[in-house]
């Protein structure tokens, strides 16, 4: 095997959650009195930590608006969204197969509370050796969360592969000296992903698993 460790982004890579994130962010912004923006503006920041995402979309957000915005977003995403969310088809089976011979990890822009809740709901806690979230390290594309994962597992960067659906994931991997593969079914368009230099762009979980079997 070329890779001992496969690191996954969560939203838009393993979980089909892009629509729910955009819906929740837009509703939270309206509640907090922030100006209306196109959905594409919100979709483009998926993968960043929540504070960084809010400031990117609404650069004039006031300090006193940040906490209400974060709380409203969390409320809409967890319990009041009308947009369904699930794992992409084949993701759970792929993770089980990978775990037979490799270590797996998650590096996500989600909060620790948010990721832990979802993993518990899906009963996926045992599928990952380690997870890192944006609120306990630095937000993507800074490579710190990947470096922390490699350090804890004592795996060199050359033996790890990052899977993600945004330029933030791929740029983070490049900064950490880790190979990457992009998923086209998430937040960023293929031309944006291709510009980041991934080894491949996969269009489904089954295609990704086949690529790992052949190349990883």
CA distance 92 to 14: 9
Average pLDDT over residues 137-142: 94
Residue range(s) of every CATH 3.40.50.1000 domain in the chain: 5-16+85-215
Residue 161: strand pairing partners: 6, 179
CATH 1.10.150 domain extents, the chain = 18-79
At the top level of CATH, the class of 18-79 is mainly alpha
% of residues, the chain, pLDDT over 70:
99
- The dihedral built from the CA positions of residue 92, 105, 22 and 183, taken in this order, carries a sign that is negative
What are 87-139's pLDDT values in tens digits? Answer: 999 999 999 999 999 999 999 999 898 899 889 988 999 999 999 999 999 99
Q: What percentage of the chain's residues is helix, strand, coil (to nearest 5)?
A: 50, 15, 35
**pLDDT higher than 70, residue 81:** no
Helix or strand holding residue 202 (H, E):
strand 201-202
> 84-118: b or e for each residue (b if 16 or more CB lie within 10 Å)?
eeebbeebbebbeebeeebbbbbbbbbbeebbeeb
> 5-16+85-215 domain in CATH 3.40.50.1000?
yes
Edge-first strand order for the sheet with 160-164 is 130-133, 103-108, 5-8, 160-164, 179-183, 201-202
**CA-to-CA distance for 7 and 180, rounded, in angstroms?**
9
Cβ within 8 Å of residue 112, ≥6 positions away: 133, 135, 136
Instruction: Quote the crossing angle between the two packed helices 63-79 and 50-57, to the nearest 10°.
Output: 110
pLDDT in tens, 163-190: 999 999 999 999 999 999 999 998 899 9
Q: Which of 9, 2, 1, 4 is nearest to 202 (CA)?
A: 9
């Amino acid at each position: 095997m070329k890779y001992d460790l496969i690191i996954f982004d969560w939203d838009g890579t393993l979980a089909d959650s892009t629509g729910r994130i955009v819906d929740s962010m837009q509703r939270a912004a309206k509640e907090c009195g922030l100006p209306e923006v196109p959905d594409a503006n919100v979709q483009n920041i998926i993968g960043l930590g929540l504070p960084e995402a809010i400031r990117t979309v609404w650069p004039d957000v006031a300090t006193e608006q940040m906490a209400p915005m974060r709380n409203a977003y969390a409320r809409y995403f967890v319990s009041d969204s009308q947009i369904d969310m699930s794992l992409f088809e084949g993701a759970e089976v792929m993770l089980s197969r990978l775990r037979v011979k490799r270590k797996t990890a998650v590096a996500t822009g989600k909060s620790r509370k948010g990721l832990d809740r979802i993993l518990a709901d899906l009963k996926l806690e045992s599928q990952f050796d380690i997870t890192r979230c944006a609120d306990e390290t630095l937000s993507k594309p800074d490579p710190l969360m990947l470096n922390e994962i490699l350090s804890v597992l004592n795996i060199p960067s050359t033996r790890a592969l990052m899977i993600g659906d945004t330029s933030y994931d791929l740029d983070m991997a490049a900064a950490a000296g880790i190979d990457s593969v992009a998923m086209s079914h998430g937040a960023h368009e293929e031309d944006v992903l291709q510009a980041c230099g991934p080894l491949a762009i996969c269009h489904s979980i089954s295609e990704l698993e086949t690529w790992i079997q052949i190349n990883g």
